Amino acid sequence: MKLAQTLAPTSTSPTSSRSTSRLLPRLLTQEKLEQGGRLRILDFGRASSQSLQFFGQYPCKLHVLEAAPTLLAWRQQLTGEETDADLHQQVQALFPTLSGEQFDLILLWDTFNYVPARALEALCWLLNTQAAQHCAGHGFMLHKKTVAQQLRHCGVVDENTIEVSRQDSCELYVHTRKFVTHALSPINIEHGILHSDGWLEYIFRKHDAPAVKG
């Protein structure tokens, strides 16, 4: 595995926890991970030792974006008067390391809750430009406003286990699934599961990609 971006090590919270995902195995199949050629993975989270260890077993290229600090700073600069073109230009300039690269698998984690609605539409536009035709991905959305708002740092332990290594207090934006579905198009949310903790776990793919089996 090749790590496309080297990041500083992250601290691990003593309150880290692991959970079993019913959706992640639909994406992280042995067949997909060992497919011909190198699987290109875009991780919007921090560098995770668990993810590095897991994906290091397979022929893939992992690009760790650590998007949260950049997006949180960007939302503070927004005035509400930006045009769609302004927002597209701004969000593209936030992540110059992407350079128009195409990815086969995208791990969004909680990224959609970091920004307000119009900024999210621009972020989804960027996501579409980076997603290869056969791209699929995984993420979470905060679904209940009554849930404690925390920025979670996640990693992949194995094909069906996710670790939350740290949680930081952070104001989050709650978006409806209907709004996110519209903003993501032509990427489609294929399956979703609402967990008891108020987070909606989902997987997505481009409309022209083969359907995820399982």
Residue 122's domain comprises 2-206
Residue 211 domain-assigned? no
* Span 67-104, pLDDT tens digits: 999 999 999 999 999 999 999 999 999 999 998 899 99
In a domain, 160, yes or no: yes
Residue 214 belongs to a domain:
no
Residue 163 contacts by C-beta under 8 Å, 6 or more apart in sequence?
16, 17, 18, 48, 50, 154, 155, 156, 157
pLDDT at 91: 97
Cβ atoms of residues 119 and 75 within 8 Å: yes
CB–CB of 44/107 below 8 Å? yes
Q: Answer yes or no: is pLDDT of 201 > 80.
A: yes
Alpha carbon distance 50, 19 (integer Å): 13
Is the residue at 120 inside a domain? yes
Does the residue 123 lie in any domain? yes
Residue 85 has which token pair? 């073109």
Residue 47 falls inside a structural domain: yes
CATH value at residue 35: 3.40.50
pLDDT at 211 over 80: no
| Number of domains the chain is built from | 1
